[in-house]
Structure 1
């Protein structure tokens, strides 16, 4: 029953029907990814104290299908739910989670044809998808999203999944692919003069042989309604934006990846940049038969209005592929906050509250198993 998404991550996510253009079908697919984590919070009150947790790491269950409509058009749909593999709760807002709802993950309906693919629903933004393939620790606690894409001192994230999305993905032309998405403000009644806020996200990728490159841009326009938009309640009538550059090279058994991003906003009282900063990510992985050794380093500079608020994270890992669908893995990751920085280890894990505190150095040993079907 397993149906893998096509190789280019963005095209796979926005157009999973490219590999299944039957006149009508339903595919059931999913992933279970659960780990046992030994974590240390790394701040003074709990220095040296470790706790053992069983955590889910982006487990999912999905249904997708197509219907040939004639004249080169195909209807596409997908419903994808988060699965809480450890049976515990999860943080609802982080990384665009909907706390285990049936449509918590990418859920949409649309059309595909020679013009490309257009979808309506809930989806990862192009900005997020532009560099997902470069993260060698994607979907576990060492995922680079503990740092990359995080803005407003952790209040929201550019590397997210949004509701109320209309998205378009172009056909591939000599290795070039583009995507753009509009995120409408949340539904709800407004009083006279209020605005909901919205967002735009766009990216372009180039994939040819061993070379991968991407460029992405996203802007959040915060509404004046009391609930704000995109997780930015209390910051009304403002905007934030980010751009990101990614590159990867695959040298047979060895691959490397690099991403750089710059975030800015006008959230300060005088409309100056409050939380703007830059961040970069470097990764490498070496495959030896069924085994993979991998490492990554992520660093973010201080926020524009807060000195000594930077952070860095390094991770080492080992994967053993027991089959094409089953992998066991081990990793160690350590995050170091500066004195005015409060990032936490959470990445792609759905285990609960991020691990860490201001001026803390949280770390984790993780042993896990992932099975795709």
Structure 2
């Protein structure tokens, strides 16, 4: 009898330890990119009489082949029951550079929280802002894999697209439980003042509609999180294969960013995308295209950019994916912004062009 009790206790401890063990996951994505970037930029800060108080200019001419790591990461995540209705949840995710160009480990999503069947999920730590909760439109991979900054080291040609969703330090995000099976997912976020980055308290919210019929729609808002100011974002996607004989998924995103600093204009951004699976391959494959347009980039009047990317991917296995893509971004700037100091004016003139062809291999584990 004692041996049976001991065996039962050991089995129970083993199950408990297994439940508490974290899941180790990650991905390595390495690509070879041919990059041709040219830019001429000039910034002047003048008084009302046109006298230049401060001036800055830079010329960029890069023509190179780079080996880059794109969003490679290593993470640990898991959960453990506290009560019958509540679990502790956690995630520790770190960005790594597989190419070795940057040997610094960066923090990505890092949080500790609870998930309650009645009250929803709470995460506290470093979280993606609520804007990301509705972002299912971006199809770009590799070098152009987001809305905002690309991988250029030079600041003149680095940020050539609209403000993007980022990870917010000292933040709490709540995901509400679904109400009576309605196809709506609501999230709300609060972030504490970040003195290191000069950010005030911020907040955000997002609502996503998805009833599993091939159509989704989302709207999100944040204040003083990704920028000093407000961002409103709306998205919609439709899988045409659900409605007609056209195996294409279309997506559209529209965003308005209203910066707080004096003299700024509202930045307006548009993204449209399309992805189509290919059926004449032994393994799953697809091709895609995405167009980005940004007006009043960074809040500067008459600073605009256009970007077009085409690409494809082939899945040797579910976790081994080959990528190929090509894209170009053109930015044209002849803008101005009045200063918070009366009688002063900032002007910015620049022309930038970035052309990239890349191919890479992604491995997930």
TMscore range, shorter length = 0.7 to 0.9
Shift of 1:315: 0.3
Superposed, 1:248-327 pairs within 5 Å as: 248-252=237-241, 253-268=247-262, 273-289=263-279, 290-303=284-297, 306-327=300-321
Query: 1:305–1:367: structure 2 CA closer, same or farther, 3 Å change rule?
Result: closer
Query: 1:324–1:340: structure 2 CA closer, same or farther, 3 Å change rule?
Result: same
Shift of 1:291: 1.5
CA contact (8 A) 2:184 2:208 kept: yes
Shift of 1:246: 0.2
TM-score with structure 2 setting the length: 0.74
CA distance in 2, matches of 1:196, 1:136: 30
Secondary structure at 1:128's aligned position in 2? helix
Give the alignment partner of residue 26 of structure 1, picking from 22, 27, 31: 22
Query: 1:308–1:147: structure 2 CA closer, same or farther, 3 Å change rule?
Result: farther
CA contact (8 A) 2:138 2:147 kept: no
CA deviations on 1:304-358 (whole Å, 9 max, x unpaired) are: 97443010100000111111011101100100001338xxxxxxxxxxxxxxx93
TM-score with structure 1 setting the length: 0.73
CA contact (8 A) 2:35 2:354 kept: yes
Shift of 1:128: 2.5
CA distance in 1, matches of 2:66, 2:172: 38
Structure 2, unaligned runs of 5 or more: 1-17, 41-58, 151-157, 242-246, 336-348
CA contact (8 A) 1:121 1:166 kept: yes
CA contact (8 A) 1:23 1:69 kept: no
CA distance in 2, matches of 1:296, 1:154: 17
Secondary structure at 2:100's aligned position in 1? coil
317-326 or 300-309, which moves further after superposition? 300-309
CA contact (8 A) 2:199 2:224 kept: no
CA contact (8 A) 2:239 2:249 kept: yes
Which residue of structure 1 lines up, in the alignment, with residue 70 of structure 2?
A: 57
Secondary structure at 1:358's aligned position in 2? strand
Is 2:63 the partner of 1:73?
no
Structure 1, unaligned runs of 5 or more: 1-21, 91-98, 189-194, 222-229, 233-238, 342-356
Query: How many equivalent pairs are there?
Result: 295
Which residue of structure 1 lines up, in the alignment, with residue 332 of structure 2?
A: 338
Computing the radius of gyration from Cα coordinates, the structure with the larger value is 2
Q: C-alpha root-mean-square deviation of aligned residues, in Å? A: 2.7
CA contact (8 A) 2:147 2:164 kept: no
167-176 or 22-31, which moves further after superposition? 22-31
